[in-house]
Amino acid sequence: MSTIRVRYAETDQMGIAHHAEYFAWFEVGRTDLLRHSGTTYRQLEADGLRLPVIEATARYLRPVLYDDVLEVRTEVTTIGGARVGFTYEVRRQGTEGPLATGTTEHAAVDAQGRPRRLPDTLRRSLA
């Protein structure tokens, strides 16, 4: 789980978080999940692996407001030969139920953008 405080720059004139910010919060959750699994994006890239987003969704259930403290809960949903998928829930500390949910799907590619298999070590750490 990742904790984020909504910054003023992430909101509109009404103090509501802009819809695009959720994808940045999903990235924080995904990065933290990888780190807790024993690796980082930096290490993956040093090993010649890239995980570009090939599909992303978000469902906005309730508004997120300036200065809210959010919990981003991230889980691995699929691990294929050359793909990995994540789900996300954005929650406000102290309230019930998600404010937003989302998914991302990632392709495994090498530094030149060619498809490659996910390394077994990564597959095991995320399973």
Give catalytic residue positions.
12
Burial of 71 (0-12, 13-18, 19+ CB in 10 A): middle
CB 70 within 8 A of CB 92: yes
Three-state secondary structure of 80-117: CCCEEEEEEEEEECCCCCCCEEEEEEEECECCCCCECC
Task: Rounding to the nearest 10 degrees, give the CA dihedral for residues 37, 41, 44, 50.
Answer: 120
Instruction: Decide the pairing of beta strands 100-107 and 83-92.
Output: antiparallel
